[in-house]
Each structure stands twice: as C-alpha cells, then as structure tokens.
Structure 1
C-alpha cells in the first residue's frame, strides 16, 4: 500500500476538480462534489470531509485511505496505489526533459489561485466589494526598488493586511510578464509538520519537483527571462502553532531566506501580527540582512498597515452600496477607520448598508457584539472571562502600568491554556517580549484600546459590585485621564443603562473632565439614551426614568453654550423626553435655536421660535433675561436686517437696574451669554461693555480664560475694545485667550475653537492691514472655509474682511474675489441677504 504523499495528494485534489469541471472550488461546491462522487463511484465522501481536504475546515489528520481510494476511482484510477504509480511514472517520464520557467509559473499559479480563492471565500465583507489599498502598492514599490530580498507586512489582527495582499497578488498574476507568485497561507504549513518534511523540499514538491532536483539549477538566467520568484506566506503567527512548531517554521523560513538572499530574482514576503514581529524580529532579520521593514508607525506599536483613510471609507461604502449618495461627518466616520470594526458593522447591516445611521455609540455596539460572540459565547467562555480579569488584576493603575507580566500569570495561563490561546487567536490580547541583556521582560496586553478600555470597565464594575456610583467615579478619576478615562466612563455608562442604574447619572458632574471631554461625553449620552429608548425592549426602567423631571444636577451638566454643535441637538432632543418643567423646556429650545442660528438654518429657527412663543408670558418671568426675545432679535436681524430697539432698551434697563441676586448656574450662563452676543447687533461697543461690567459685578467676575463663561465674555470684550481703538486693553485680553488656547489641552470645544480663530484673524488684521500679503489673506480664507464648520462664523469673518477692504493699502484682488464668492454663496444657500452683514455691524462670531 502506498503511503500518503502530500505532492500526490495535491495532484489528486486538482484531478478531482478537473473531472468535476471546476476551475476553482468554493465551500458551497463541496455539497455538489459529494453528489457527483457518490453517483460515479457509489461510495460517499461527505461534504465535511471534502471541506477539510480543500482547506475550508481545519483538520489535523491526513485523509483516510478510504477517502483517497474513492477520490482516485472518481478520477478513473483503480485506487490510490494506482494513482500514485501512474503519477510516479509520469514524473520519471518528465525527468529527462528540461523543466522550464513557464512550467514552474503554471504550477505556482495553480497553488496561488487556490489560496486566493480560499481566502476570498472567507472574507468578512464579500471580496468583490472590498477595495485595493494604496499602502500595499507603495510598500511593494519601495521593496522592489531597493536591494532587498525579503519584506514583512505586520499589523495587529483585523487591520486588513491579508485582503490588501490578495488584491496585490490577484493583480500581479494577471499581469503579462515572467514573474512567478507562489502564495499560500501558514495553515498549509501544518501539513509540513505532519509529514515531517523540510519546508524547502515541501515547497518544491508543491511545484511538481522531486526533492533531488535543485531549484537553483532549474532557475537559470536564460530560462527566467528576467522574471522574479515571489514566495508569499500569509499569517505567520505564533498562535497558529505549538511553540516548538512555530520555532521550526521561523528557522526554516530563515534558512530559505539565507539560501536565496544572494539571488536577486528571489523575493520572500511574510505577513504577521505586530506582536509576532516584535517577538521574533531578532531571529528573522538576522542582523544587517536585506529585509525591507516598510513604513512602521511607531517603535512601540509596529505596524506598516495603516487604518482606512476617509477616502478609502467612502470608496468602500460606495462599492458595497452604490446607491449611497450622502456621507456622514468625518468625526463620526473616523471611528470606522479600523477594517475589523467596518467588517462587524457590515455583517449587521448587509441588507441595506449605509453609514448614515452611524453615531457616537455605534463603535461601542460593534465591540460589544465582538466580545459577545468571541469571548462570552462558545467553548471556554468562563475561562476567558477569568483570564481577562486576571490580566487586568496584574496591572498597576497607580503607576500607569497597563500591561501584565507573563511571569506573574504563568500559573493561570497553564491552568487555562486553551482559553488563553483562543484569546490570542482572536486578537483580543497579545504577547510582547522586550527582554534585554540583563532582564527577561515578557508582557501581555490587550490588542487595542477598545478591548483594553472595555476590560478595565468590566473589571472596575465587578470589583464595585456592578454599581455605577460615586465610588466607581472616584476610582476612574484617580487612575485614568484623557481619552482612556473618557472611554472607560462610556463603557460604564452603557452598563448602567443596561442594568437600570440611570438614576445615578447625576453623579456625572463629579467626573472631572475637560470641557472638550465633557462635550464628547454629553453627545455620546444623547445618542445612547435615544437609541435605548427606540429599541422598545427591556427598557421599562428607562421609560419610567423619563417619566419625571430631569434633576437639576444632570440638566446643568448636560447644558451649556459651549456644547453648541449639530451633534448636540440629539442630546437636547433626548432631554425633551423627560417630563421637564417649562423653564427647562424653554432652555432646551433656546439651545436648539442657537444651533440653528450658528448653522444659518432659518427654517428650523422659525420652528423653534414658534414653539418658544407657545409658552405663556408667565413662564419667562423666571429668567433674568428673556431668551425668546434674544433669539427673535437675532432672527429679525439675520432675516431682514431689523435692529429690535425695544429689546435693547430692556437690556439697557437691565444693566442699569440689575436684580439683587443672580444665581450662578449653567442655564443662567447660557442666557446671559446669549444676551451679550445679541447686544452686539446694536454696533455700540460701550453698551456691550457696560452690560458685561454689570455681569462681572452682580453675577460672576471674568477671570480664568479656560472657564467657558469667562472665555466667551473675554472674546466679546476683545473685539469691542478693538472697535473702540483701545488696542492695549484688547491685546491684553487676547494674549490671555491665546495662552489658554495653547496651554489648556482639551479645554476648548469646537465652538470655542472657532470663536478663538475668529478673534485671532481680527487681531492679526488690525496689526497687518498696511502690510497684508496675498499669502496671509489666502491663509485666513482657507482657515475660514476649511476649519470653521459653523456657517455664521464663516459669513461673519468673510463680511469682516470685505467691510474692511478699504483699510488695506493694496488689497489683493484675486483673493478678495474668492472671499466675496464664498460669502455670497453661503448667504444665498441660507436664504439671507448679503448686504445685512456688509453694513458696519458687529454681530456674534
């Protein structure tokens, strides 16, 4: 009986496909193939067995002799022995003939095509809907132009390196030329160890050559015709093998590299995870040997595979669903720059794919879904959860150590080895070996920030009896900062809502976030609450929660002029789901109206004015300044150019006869700042400054520029002093704002940044008007167009530059034409008259 031969087995598999009339095979074809074999041989080879044979299912054993005999009979042989004898005879017959480069290319092409097809059938997004990545072309261009023999494509799990490589290989094998590509997955190497063969011999066997033949003699210069041989191995990762097997793989790949590195026609390409590259780089690179490492992003997180660019996300969306016409905001779509997250989202929205419904909560839902399916479900789930808790337990939050020592976990890893290997294989955790001459240092960390922050949140909740309370918030405040702290808070809030603990949200005021972080959290909370309310399942406690007034603490936390942004509108609409008092409803509609003002959305502004007018006059008695009159005055000015003198008389009386006590609160901040901005329509700087002076005396002093209330008042005062010609006082205030902007990291929200950029241009203009160049004006114009997302700020600044054109000694005509065009275009699109802002008026920016 003939023993199993990998080379002959591959030939038999190809013969079966040829008899069945299949050029390539997909998993779905195995059922049909089972029927064809049964019909011809009267013996059954199951669909599952065929999937194992063709690589669609994992198998650690060779096919049985029954299977080999049946497949041989299907191919018109008497059995496996007969098939092997005739293959051997054919090999002997061909041994006397010259094996040429074209035959080698044909044999390699079969294997490469099979590998490509197997990978294409397993992609999360259907392969025809995936896109080519520019980075892979750039990588190979640099690799092939240099004096390199080998290269590595390294990235964490889910970065899309295999799909990107498939596109390159697919294009390469269809090009006219003499290059040969032999492409296979590392899973195919399992057979090498089962057969006990050398990797180089196995590779030659795949190509149809006996082990005695020397590939160097076969690939002489004349036959190659300047062609190159690409050996590409995908997924060379340690979690795929046992430790001794993986070490053998690395050693044999290094041997192949070392043997062929003097031959310029030979090119070795490996793909692997970043952690594998970091752990085995010292063995693979072999000192100064000619390896091309690509363009790694950083030393600590080596990856030469970038995440999706915005343009690539757009291209991918359109390829999946050509009917997509609109596109979502950049700040939201950036959450989907990770190919793995994009793939998760696609699986949930196959039927009507679009990113238009994506919000700030979506990426957290995707991670939750991944954890549910890959960690919480299936075999070893409890062990995996215990391991994750043990890894976090090893971290030292107080000293900022967010990785775990492998030595400290070695007993736990041995006890739960299967769960540990599975967490490695799904890319949830990774091992890093950064040992030095004097210290062994092997650590375990989570593969990305989302997995890390999710795990930290669950650990902290578990240790706090799963309660979202002040103790949990104090722990988060103590050990975490920045984006990490914000994300851990978000995960904790998600858990609080799912477990009916939303009553504790009033504690959010204790979270010690910067203004920018607070704005992010508030928008996230609005999206989350709206989404939970719309699910109509398991939300009874949430429904009851909204059947009451929003607490003053939570309302003040969620409310503020600094948060004004289109995304913030959703949070305000969520607040309206509470049984709010009339005062709070008016404040919410004031916020929504303000969003419409800065976006120049006049139709929406009219709707909110109508709603606000529906509240009785008594409802407005609680306000120190009537917000309805402020909004209505701004509307009349923008729409018709009318200056509401009666309202300004009221404001004059207010600052000459202020109330004895003005309570400091977020809602009062909003209304008083709104009044100060509205007052500027009068174009009387002294009147505005008097109003602010009254606020400083009777409400709160204007001191710290990082304080939102103080920032906006200083911003107004700076421009008013410039209008009065009091340059020194204006510059003193401006330098305070500039210092706060440069040093208060994360303190400024998008509205504050836009407002600061406006005053920066106005101050610069006052200094440079006599020596203003085309470049400076063009720089300002680009800043206004590209970085000011608020339309009101844009038209205000365009109008300022156009109104003051006469002050410039030699105004650059080309730039001013562009500014004038953009100004008229924006005003026209908003249905407003351009001449209103071109008059000598100082309105809010």
Structure 2
C-alpha cells in the first residue's frame, strides 16, 4: 500500500475512533490532545490540520507522524508505515566506518599495533546497564582517547560488548556537526541531517518509537572536540547544545551519548553539570574518574604496555625507568618513530626519555606551520612564569598583544594539545591562564630559556 492509501485509511480510522463524522478545523485540536494523552507523544494541532488538509503541507508526512497515527488507531501490523530505521542504520554505519578509518589513518602509532583497553569496555558496559544517558572519556591531551573510542566502536559493531547487541552506532566527530554556513550549531538538527531524518521530526521521538517497536537503541559516539579549538565559539555552542539535548532525553533509554574530551575542556562544563540535578543523575562518570584532575582515562598498566610492545619490531627490553615513560600512549608512538629513524637505540634510559620529549617537540613545533611564532609564544610564557617559579601557567591577559598578532600559531598550539587555557581558581577573580599541557615540554623549553638567559645575562622577561 502506498503512502497516499495509508494516509486515507488513517484519516478514516482516526475519525471513527474519535466519533467525528465530518471533521472541521476546530476538531483538530481535540484530536491532537486525544492522541497525545493516549500515546504520551506529541502531535501538534497544526500537524493534524495538515493531515486533514486544513493547513498547507510542503513536505510528505514523516514516518514518525504516520506511525503515531497507526498506533493510535491500532492499525493492523501488516500495514508498514514505519520502515525508516533501516535507512538510518545504514547511514549511521557508513558514517561510523568513515570516522574509524579517519582515526586509523591519523594514528601516530600504526593502528594494528594499538590495543583495546579493558577498563573502557567495562565502563561502557556498566554505562549501558545504568540509568544514565551520557558518559565521556576524559583525559589530558595525547592519552589515546580517539584510538580508545575506535576500538570500542569496532567491538560494538562486532557484537563483542554485552548490552550493545541491539543498537545503532553513530560515530561522528565534532567537525561533522559544524557547518561553515551556519551561525549557530544545534546538535539535534545536525544529527538529523546526517541521518537523513525529516527536518520536522523530533530525533528523540523518532528514536523512542523505534525503541518501543524493536528494542533497538541509538548510541552516539562523539570525538574530536579538540579540532574545534580553532572555532572555540562554535565548540562552546555545540557542547551546550549537546547538554541541552541530554537534558531533553530525561529518563529515556532510546538514545545514549558517549563523548571524548580533554580535561581542561570538561572542567569548563563540570560546574554546569553539577548545578543540574538531572545532568548529575544522568552522567556516568566512569570507574576511574578523579574530580581533582577532571580525568577518567588511566595511564597504561604493565600488561597493556607489554601487549603493545609485542607488536613493535626491534623494541628494546623494557626496564623500569622506560616503563614509566610508556604509561603514556604518546611516548610509545614517539618511541616507534625514533626506532624507525635510527633502527636501534643504544642510549641509557634517561637519554631515551629525553629523546622522546625532543621528538615530540620536533613533530608538533619545529615541523609544523608557524613554528617561529609558536616558539616565540612558548618562550614568552616561560618568562611570564618567572622561569618556572610561578608554575607552568601565565596570565592570558599578559599575552593579548601576541595573541592578536599570532592568532593562528596560538590556536594551533591549543589544538595540538601543547598549550591549554584554564581558569585560575586561586585568584581573587576568575582569570584565564595559558598553561603548558605537558610538564616535560615545559621543562624542555625552560631549560633552553635558562641556558639562553645565562649566556646573555638576562633576568627580565622578553618583550620582543
């Protein structure tokens, strides 16, 4: 039966159930209220008027609308009016594949050498069994969150995670939700566009109906918020829109959200969550969450390090000193790069550890765009910290002149995780600070600046 025939039959059945012989525009409100009270889902008076031809309709009626009407009149199951989820599942699978492939291609350590992390799989399973509707994997930069999310996504698709055998997985990046032509970002609207859902649909109601009929939920993975450091205003809009969407989900189980975020970004919104009873109740913080560091992704343990090194050719036997360095996933990828360039490392562990930091600086700064401006920024911050006596952070207001002159360089330092912006909680008034994200990178530039200053006899901050 085509849509026109189905619609005609639905009109007839609705009038029969509501005991209306000749429908008028005034009856549409009564019908809308009756449907909403019966189904606990909203069909507007305007929608009902469009159904009966009392209001202009520019689009075909959505599957959600037709399915709601069919449910209200108890239409025989043989009438198929809701068959759109298969298309959504197909689109979500296509997008997810592209996202995973993108992460694999950008992985600094060949993806086949990376491993899935047991704590993450366990957390995700506990999250699925809980009453929570959103969670996030949170850590400082370079902890391997994107790789972690990719492994989880593949485990879900391969039905290796309990509780996820009947879910549609949509794995996207924050950039997928960003449109250059849009002045604002509305999370729900962008997801509907990606999945091909009618603009007049409610994503939540659409997912609810599918969940009621099939028991199949929608799980949304979102990675890559750091890529929007260059568009900080849009990133903030997006995250606020996501939390608004989570708030609208309420107690529903049809949609669950899994995000990946840097600690300093999450810190900005932790207070927003704590001030909302609903968001606090619906957030699964993870078994390793530390409220002092705003992180729940632990360092690699000994077994995980061993498993990774089994896949690295020519790797030296692990000693205690280097094992501590390799608890951070970034250092393993740097070590692999050094092995490929030098084929063998004969230096003692202390020298190898220093070479890891030097390799990171080469990759992220000296071999990048705007490297001259970036070095200027980093030197300036070292001086503003009084050569480390004030810690690794400097007041952002002291960098305003440089920010306006070298904005692109600064934004890349933020995006690459070399610097991060924070709020000084110990200050009398909340002031923004700019900090080195990695202690060893701070020490690296501090030592260089101390050598330069001693040679030149400088003790005052640079002003160039």
Answering whether residue 247 of structure 2 is matched by residue 258 of structure 1, we say yes
Native 8 Å contact 2:62 2:201 kept in 1: no
Answering whether residue 456 of structure 2 is matched by residue 460 of structure 1, we say no
Native 8 Å contact 2:229 2:411 kept in 1: no
Write the mapping of 1:756-767 to structure 2, written as runs, cut at 5 A. none
Offset of residue 184 of structure 1: 0.5
Aligned partner of 2:5 in structure 1 is none
Structure number having the greater helix percentage = 1
Offset of residue 204 of structure 1: 1.1
Offset of residue 327 of structure 1: 2.9
Offset of residue 446 of structure 1: 0.9
Change (3 A) 1:298 1:199: closer
Q: Once the two structures are superposed, what CA deviation does each residue of 1:157-183 show, in whole Å capped at 9, x if it has no partner?
A: 111011011101111022183211111
Larger radius of gyration: 1
Offset of residue 146 of structure 1: 2.7
Unaligned residue ranges in structure 1 (runs of 5+): 1-90, 473-845
Match of 2:364 among 357, 369, 374: 374
- TM-score, L = length of structure 1: 0.41
Offset of residue 226 of structure 1: 2.9
Match of 2:267 among 262, 275, 278: 278
Match of 2:285 among 285, 290, 293: 293
Offset of residue 466 of structure 1: 6.9
Native 8 Å contact 2:326 2:332 kept in 1: yes
Change (3 A) 1:462 1:231: same
Q: Distance in 2 between matches of 1:169 and 1:455?
A: 38
Q: Distance in 1 between matches of 2:427 and 2:441?
A: 32
Offset of residue 196 of structure 1: 6.0
Change (3 A) 1:179 1:361: same
Native 8 Å contact 2:131 2:251 kept in 1: no
SS of the equivalent of 2:170 reads strand
Change (3 A) 1:195 1:120: farther
Native 8 Å contact 1:383 1:419 kept in 2: yes
Aligned partner of 2:309 in structure 1 is 317
SS of the equivalent of 2:179 reads helix
RMSD: 3.1
Structure number having the greater strand percentage = 2
SS of the equivalent of 1:414 reads helix
Q: Once the two structures are superposed, what CA deviation does each residue of 1:107-160 show, in whole Å capped at 9, x if it has no partner?
A: 211211111111112111221221111221132133223321111111121110
Q: Distance in 2 between matches of 1:112 and 1:216?
A: 20
Change (3 A) 1:214 1:156: same
Answering whether residue 258 of structure 2 is matched by residue 269 of structure 1, we say yes
Offset of residue 461 of structure 1: 1.2
The higher relative CO (CA closer than 8 Å, separation ≥ 6) is in 2
Aligned partner of 1:344 in structure 2 is 334
Offset of residue 447 of structure 1: 0.7
Q: Distance in 2 between matches of 1:170 and 1:398?
A: 44
Aligned partner of 1:606 in structure 2 is none
Aligned partner of 1:710 in structure 2 is none
SS of the equivalent of 2:216 reads coil
Number of equivalences = 377
Q: Distance in 2 between matches of 1:143 and 1:282?
A: 21
Offset of residue 390 of structure 1: 1.3
Write the mapping of 1:90-489 to structure 2, written as runs, cut at 5 A. 97-175=81-159, 177-191=165-179, 194=182, 198-219=186-207, 220=209, 223-237=212-226, 239-283=228-272, 286-288=275-277, 289=279, 290-296=282-288, 298-321=290-313, 327-350=317-340, 359-396=349-386, 400-435=390-425, 439-465=429-455
Native 8 Å contact 1:233 1:269 kept in 2: yes
